[in-house]
């Protein structure tokens, strides 16, 4: 299921650890979806002199964090900000489809750490920001078959061939055209 | 490296005796049981004999056993067939919050055509209180479905007590005994059930062999409409080799259950006692007393299940996890959430399910290999770092 490169970075992750004197700290994720990442950066002459991370999550999340740390080290801040989650996945030889959404947050965590460093430079409070929640957890999976939904199109389940809408009452996704929400049972707009 | 297999709950190896019983029906004895010639009659006799064995395993009559292709099919057949068969009386179903998805999603499917349902909660150990089932019953209730034992946390439910509640209110009661049948004694009469699902791949039978018991007189509509197979209640040519294998596995389970249980319980208990002793912040999930004999499950705090599973696999140990990351849906186990575990803890779920033949040495291998794996993953975990900081060390 995972490429050899992913397994290598999972089993032997590079740059794991906590940095006590970090210049910037960034956190993303939430244990609801299973992945949390914390990135620490040390900056020297506008370059990432050192990068460390900690990750709670699956093999993909750990491999992604390790790869991001390796890609970012030595880069200028602007270059590091140009690293995208997709580039990281590509560098790892691809990730399973259902992991692209929840586990591939490493670049975001790195960017949060760089933003935190820049905020500190600008004289803003030096506290590490709280974890940034990057997506709606309610919409991760089809409520009928539990298949993870596509990042680009959360309004359709390919497995069930069902179209969704968001329930105005509870915010969950439910079948479009149904009389009531599958989660909260409230009647849907325009229906009885 | 030889794999030490601790994922019985996903699949068991087919016993050699089972394979030998199946072999002729995969080769020379290929007759269709519905054919009137000698080859057909031979296949029918084999299917009938298997039906007797499966019936004997659960204390039923052979005429009350319907073969299916999986435990999920048996559950769908029971839930949909019984609910739709009673809908003139009412359209309300009661199920526990920790049922298998083949029960929960069958209920959801019925809800889309006008049924309603009530989910009965479970306690911290994953047990349903029969009084809660009674409270959930309404005048409209036509079916209750509560599993015999849960595959993620090993807890055995008070099925007989729930059966008594349903009988007193004249409501049909189905139990998903897929994880239980063949592993613990299950008797349809003393449990007071109208329907019971079981699957051969949980007790050394082949995959694709399963059955539903339906009490004589209980009304059920077919899930698969077709010919006259299975008394007209389940169309489709019989899976003769699978059915023969299921029958042989049922006979072996009945004969060997006391010996298997006696061998498994000390090994299970060694895992349940020793892992939390060797690693801090490891919680046993499910009941310690009402528990499947081959099932040890845990939540390891501050780490996620898939990482543990992959590292154990590298050490030649196969286990399963109920963590979000190992599921296709990336959602935490509905079982652990219903039991009151928070998301982060539920992500650290790990299930060791033993098989007949698991040795003390296999268990020691886990006890040796596992602590350093947890240590390694915790060293990477921001949740553990936060915990240590808050604890002040």
| Partner-chain contact A31 B329, CB within 8 Å | no
**CB < 8 Å to B111, chain A:** 182
pLDDT of residue A191: 41
Q: What is the CATH number for B365?
A: 3.90.1150.10
Judge whether residue A65 has pLDDT over 90: yes
Band the pLDDT of B116: cuts 50, 70, 90. very high
Residue A145 has pLDDT above 70, yes or no: no
Do residues B42 and B134 both lie within one domain?
yes
Q: What is the pLDDT of residue A169?
A: 67
- For residues B144-149, average pLDDT: 98
- As for how many domains chain B has, the answer is 2
| Three-point CA angle B384, B386, B392, nearest 5° | 105
Do B223 and B303 belong together in one domain? no
Asked whether residue B245 falls in the same domain as residue B313, the answer is: no
Share of chain B above pLDDT 70, in %: 97
Query: Do B307 and A34 lie within an 8 Å CB cutoff?
Result: no
pLDDT at B151 over 50: yes
State yes or no: pLDDT of B45 exceeds 70. Answer: yes
Query: Quick check: A146 and B328 CB within 8 A?
Result: yes
CATH number at residue B34: 3.40.640.10
Identify which has the larger pLDDT, A102 or B157. B157
pTM of the model as a whole: 0.86
Choose from A9, A31, A104, A140 for mutation: most chain B CBs within 10 A: A31
Q: What are the phi and psi torsion angles at B184 (to 5°)? A: -135, 160
The predicted-structure confidence for B283-302, as pLDDT tens digits, reads as follows 999 999 999 999 999 999 99
Nearest-Cα residue of chain A relative to residue B304: A57
**B110: exposed, middle or buried (Cβ count in 10 Å: 0-12, 13-18, 19+):** buried
* Whether residue B173 has pLDDT greater than 70: yes
Whether residues B270 and B182 share a domain: the answer is: no
pLDDT category at B178 given cuts 50, 70, 90 is very high
Q: What is the mean pLDDT of residues A175-191?
A: 67
For residues B219 and B247, state if they share a domain: yes
| DSSP character string of B184-205 | B---HHHHT-SEEEEEGGGTTS
**The Cα angle at residue A48 between residues A46 and A51, in degrees rounded to 5:** 155
Closest residue on chain A to B377 (Cα):
A56
Work out the average pLDDT over B44-69: 98
Residues of A in contact with B330 (CB under 8 A): 33-34, 98, 101-102, 140-141, 148
- Segment B182-235, tens digit of pLDDT: 999 999 999 999 999 999 999 999 999 999 999 999 999 999 999 888 988 999
Q: To 10 degrees, what angle do helices B240-278 and B360-379 make?
A: 60
- Tell whether B319 and B346 lie within a shared domain: yes
For range A75-82, the mean pLDDT: 96
Taking the CA of residue A162 and the nearest CA in chain B, the distance in Å comes to 13
Q: Are residues B283 and B371 in the same domain?
A: yes
d(CA B45, nearest CA chain A) in Å: 39
Q: Residue range A69-94: average pLDDT?
A: 94
Positive/negative CA dihedral, B275, B281, B286, B287: positive
Complete domains list, chain A, with CATH: 4-121 (3.90.1010.10), 136-192 (no CATH)
Judging contacts by C-beta atoms under 8 Å, the chain A residues touching residue B332 are 32, 34
Q: Are residues B239 and B318 in the same domain?
A: no
Residue B128 C-alpha, separation from nearest chain A C-alpha, in angstroms = 22
Residues in A closer than 8 angstroms to B304, CB to CB, are 34-35, 56-58, 61
**Burial A120-137, CB ≥16 within 10 A → b, else e:** beeeeeeebeebbebbeb
d(CA B61, CA B84): 24
Which chain A residues touch B323 with a CB distance below 8 Å? 34, 58
Is B106 in the same domain as B246?
yes
Measured on CA atoms in the order B351, B339, B154, B137, is the torsion positive or negative? negative
Q: How many beta-carbon pairs below 8 A join chains A and B?
A: 103
Listed residues B201, B224, B253: the one ending a domain: B253
Domain ranges, residue B85: 16-253
Residue A161 pLDDT > 80, yes or no? no
Whether B327 sits inside 8 A of A57 (CB atoms) is no
> Cα separation of B285 and B255, whole Å?
30
Contact call for B304 and A57, based on CB within 8 A: yes
Look at residue B50 and tell me whether its pLDDT is greater than 60: yes
Active-site positions of A?
33, 102
Nearest-neighbour CA in chain B from A182: distance (Å): 8
Mean pLDDT across B252-257: 98
User: Considering only A181-190, B14-23, B377-386, which range has the smallest mean pLDDT?
Assistant: A181-190
On whether both B232 and B275 belong to a single domain, the answer is no
What is the mean predicted confidence (pLDDT) over B330-338?
84
Residue A141 has pLDDT above 80, yes or no: no
Last-in-domain residue among B216, B238, B253? B253
Closest chain A residue to B101, measured at CA: A145
Residue (of A119, A38, A121, A51) closest to A79 by Cα position: A51
pLDDT digit string, tens, across residues B363-387: 999 999 999 999 999 999 999 999 9
Q: Which one of B259, B310, B325, B380 is the catalytic residue?
A: B325
Q: What pLDDT score was predicted for residue A192?
A: 38
- Of the ranges A143-157, B57-71, B102-116, which one carries the lowest mean pLDDT score? A143-157
CA distance B343 to chain A (A): 5
B319, pLDDT greater than 60:
yes
What is the per-residue pLDDT for A184?
62
**B267 shares its domain with B215:** no
Percent of chain B exceeding pLDDT 90 equals 88
Residues B167 and B221 in one domain: yes
Domain boundary residue among B226, B253, B280? B253
Which chain B residue has the Cα nearest residue A148? B329
């Amino acid at each position: 299921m995972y490429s050899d490169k992913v397994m290598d970075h999972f089993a032997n992750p590079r740059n794991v650890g906590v940095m006590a004197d970090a210049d910037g700290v960034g956190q993303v994720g939430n244990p609801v979806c299973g992945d949390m990442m914390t990135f620490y950066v040390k900056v020297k002459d506008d370059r990432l002199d050192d990068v460390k991370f900690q990750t709670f999550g699956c093999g993909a999340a750990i491999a992604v964090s390790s790869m991001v740390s390796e890609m970012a080290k030595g880069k200028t801040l602007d270059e590091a900000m140009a690293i995208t989650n997709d580039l990281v996945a590509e560098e790892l030889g691809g990730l399973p489809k259902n992991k692209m959404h929840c586990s591939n947050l490493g670049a975001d965590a790195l960017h949060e750490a760089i933003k935190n460093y820049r905020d500190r430079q600008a004289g803003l409070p030096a506290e590490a920001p709280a974890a940034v929640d990057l997506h709606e957890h309610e919409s991760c999976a089809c409520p009928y078959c539990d298949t993870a939904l596509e990042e680009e199109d959360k309004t359709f389940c390919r497995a069930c061939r069902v179209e969704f809408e968001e329930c105005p009452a509870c915010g969950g996704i439910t079948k479009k055209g149904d009389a009531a929400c599958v989660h909260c049972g409230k009647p849907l707009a325009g229906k009885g | 490296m030889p794999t030490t297999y601790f994922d019985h709950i996903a699949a068991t190896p087919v016993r050699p005796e089972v394979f030998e019983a199946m072999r002729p029906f995969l080769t020379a004895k290929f007759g269709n049981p519905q054919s009137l010639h000698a080859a057909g009659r031979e296949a029918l006799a084999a299917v009938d004999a298997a039906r007797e064995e499966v019936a004997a395993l659960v204390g039923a009559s052979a005429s009350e056993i319907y073969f299916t292709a999986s435990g999920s099919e048996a559950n769908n057949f029971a839930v949909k067939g019984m609910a739709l068969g009673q809908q003139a009386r009412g359209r309300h179903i009661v199920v526990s919050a920790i049922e298998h998805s083949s029960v929960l999603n069958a209920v959801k499917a019925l809800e889309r055509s006008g049924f309603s349902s009530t989910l009965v909660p479970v306690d911290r150990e994953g047990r349903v209180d029969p009084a809660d089932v009674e409270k959930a019953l309404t005048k409209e209730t036509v079916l209750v479905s509560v599993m015999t034992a849960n595959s993620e946390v090993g807890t055995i439910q008070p099925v007989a007590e729930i059966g008594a509640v349903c009988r007193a209110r004249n409501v049909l009661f189905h139990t998903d005994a897929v994880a239980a049948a063949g592993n613990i004694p299950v008797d349809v009469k003393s449990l007071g059930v109208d329907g019971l699902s079981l699957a051969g791949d949980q007790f050394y039978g082949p995959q694709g062999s399963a059955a539903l018991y339906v009490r004589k007189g209980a009304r059920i509509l077919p899930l698969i409409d077709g010919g006259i197979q299975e008394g007209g209640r389940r169309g489709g040519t019989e899976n003769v080799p699978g059915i023969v294998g299921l029958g042989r596995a049922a006979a072996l389970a009945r004969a060997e259950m006391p010996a298997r249980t006696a061998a498994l319980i000390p090994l299970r208990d060694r895992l349940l006692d020793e892992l939390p002793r060797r690693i801090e912040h490891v919680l046993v999930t499910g009941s310690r007393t009402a528990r499947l004999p081959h099932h040890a499950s845990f939540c390891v705090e501050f780490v996620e299940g898939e990482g543990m599973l992959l590292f154990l696999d590298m050490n030649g140990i196969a286990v399963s996890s109920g963590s979000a990351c190992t599921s296709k849906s990336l959602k935490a186990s509905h079982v652990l959430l219903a039991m009151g575990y928070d998301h982060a803890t539920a992500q650290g779920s790990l299930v060791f399910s033993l098989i007949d033949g698991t040795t003390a040495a296999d268990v020691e291998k886990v006890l040796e290999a596992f602590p350093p794996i947890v240590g390694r993953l915790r060293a990477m975990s921001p949740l553990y770092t936060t915990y240590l900081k808050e604890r002040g060390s």
